[in-house]
Amino acid sequence: MKNLLRVLSAFLLLLMACGGRTADTEETAVDPIEPTAEMVETDETAPSDVDSETVEAMKAEVVANYADIVYASYQDSYDTAVALQTALQTFVANPTEETHQAAKDAWLAAREPYGQTEVYRFYGGPIDDEDGPEGLINAWPLDESYVDYVEGAPDAGIINNVAEYPEINAELLESLNEVGAEENISTGYHAIEFLLWGQDLSADGSGDRSYTDYTEAENAERRGQYLLAAADLLVAHLGSLVDAWAPDVSGNYRAEFLAQPANDAIQKMLTGMGVLSKSELAGERMFVAYDNQDQEDEHSCFSDNTHRDVINNAQGILNVYTGSYTRVDGTVISGASLADLLARLDTAVAAEMDTLAETALSSTQSIHVPFDQAIVVADHRPAVLESVNALQDQGDKLAEVASLIGVAINTDLPE
């Protein structure tokens, strides 16, 4: 999470370049907006055979299918995190170039399903309610010196502070997360990423940490303890999200989500999509890095995996819109979708939204790899800005879609 003033300053430039798009940056749930009569007024192109009972039945089916997709994608995130945990255990027990690379490969694999879950945020669900684990799972940017040594500071970090932290365990790491500054990240994917790749000091490559940091370097054993404790926490926190969305569990979040009026659930779905598209992804994760031209602003800067973060976030939005998610094993979870509902209500708006959704995803796939070069090389920078614009346009259209369905959303992150 970036400092609010920094992001607002960056977006003043976007106002001039992109016709007035803005985004706030505080990662908290968005308060719902009550729809007005003007908001829910439908277009003249709406089909004449719209039947209110049919539409309400479709809404319920859309909400139920969404819950199935959320559960499946969190289950995939949990399973790949367990595989990562196993690879890290193997690496720490026997640090070699081969086990080190296997651990990095497992981290990259774990990021694939998780990136598609970030569309389930921003509406006060279990991932980011008051007690939600998001800040312990995926917080960034990370101040490397809070965790371990960095260039010019060989004794920096929790790992090298034996006097103050004689024992490294999961409880300690969770207690230290974001203490003193929001960049003081001690847990989650990016702490593990840094411990595997090390600082990214290369202009066009990832970090280059050696496996010998876990064999012969100062505090090698503590570094391994840290890595395993961080993995334990990641698995535990993802497991809590699986439990929250598990089917046939009395009293969990999924049960509450399905029990509420369908419009309330759909409002949450569209809020997650709209905020991620217009504000979080287009703004915080892409435009800030584009504007500053600094790889430190990348989401996954140590591994140079930011391009996959961006693509998977966009894919997650499309998953919710189309009501379809492809699991890690290739199984497809699909059913009634917002796209189906919208087509029932207004074919013209549905066609526009279909095009914008596909364009937003394809625009992220067109960005040069690695992302840290895409934001600095003149020939590659336009594609980043085009993607920012496409994602913001998608967010604006989602607000229109919400009004058509009969709800209202705020696609900006609040101050």
Q: How many CA atoms lie within 13 A of 188 on its CB side?
A: 22
User: Phi and psi (nearest 5°) for 408?
Assistant: -135, 145
Q: Quick one: which H or E segment has residue 91?
A: helix 52-93
Helix (H, G, I), strand (E, B) or coil at 153: strand
User: Phi and psi (nearest 5°) for 223?
Assistant: -65, -40
Residue ranges in 217-281 assigned as alpha helix (H): 220-245, 253-259, 262-275
Q: Which two tokens stand for residue 241?
A: 């999200």
Low-confidence residues of the chain, pLDDT below 50? 1-46, 48
Question: Parallel, antiparallel, or unpaired for β 332-334 and 324-326?
Answer: antiparallel
What's the CA dihedral at 259, 262, 266, 269 to 10 degrees? 20
According to the model, what pLDDT value does residue 49 have?
60
DSSP states of 345-386: H-HHHHHHHHHHHHHHHHHHHTS-SSHHHHTTSTTTHHHHHH
**CA terminus-to-terminus distance, the chain:** 13
Give the whole-angstrom CA distance, residue 68 versus residue 280. Answer: 24
Give the whole-angstrom CA distance, residue 124 versus residue 75. Answer: 20
Give the whole-angstrom CA distance, residue 165 versus residue 153. Answer: 18
Summarised one tens digit per residue, pLDDT across range 73-125 is: 999 999 999 999 999 999 999 999 999 999 999 999 999 999 999 999 999 99
User: Cα 323 to chain center, whole Å?
Assistant: 18
Give the whole-angstrom CA distance, residue 243 versus residue 300. Answer: 27
Q: Which two tokens stand for residue 174?
A: 């969770």
Q: What domains appear along the chain, each with residue ranges and CATH number? A: 4-405 (1.20.1420.20)
Query: 33: which DSSP letter?
Result: B
Q: Which residue has the tokens 């001690």?
A: 186
Q: Which residue has the tokens 């593990």?
A: 192
Helix (H, G, I), strand (E, B) or coil at 324: strand
Residue ranges in 130-202 assigned as alpha helix (H): 134-137, 170-176, 189-197
Q: Which two tokens stand for residue 333?
A: 């979870």
From residue 95, alpha-carbon distances to 12, 91, 127, 199, 289 in Å are 48, 5, 34, 19, 34
CB of 302 closer than 8 Å to CB of 200: yes
Summarised one tens digit per residue, pLDDT across range 364-395 is: 999 999 999 999 999 999 999 999 999 999 99
From residue 362, alpha-carbon distances to 61, 69, 383, 395 in Å are 28, 22, 11, 15
Instruction: Name residue 367's amino acid.
Output: I
The phi-psi region of residue 144 (left if phi > 0; otherwise alpha if psi is between -120 and 50; otherwise beta) is: alpha
CA-atom Rg of the chain in angstroms: 22
Query: Does the bond joining 133 to the residue before it have cis omega, within 30 degrees of 0?
Result: no
Residue ranges in 246-329 assigned as alpha helix (H): 253-259, 262-275, 288-292, 306-322
Summarised one tens digit per residue, pLDDT across range 394-406 is: 999 999 999 999 9
The Cα angle at residue 290 between residues 73 and 128, in degrees rounded to 5? 35
According to the model, what pLDDT value does residue 213 have?
98
Q: How many CA atoms lie within 13 A of 34 on its CB side?
A: 1
16 burial level (CB within 10 Å; 0-12, 13-18, 19+): exposed
CB of 77 closer than 8 Å to CB of 240: no
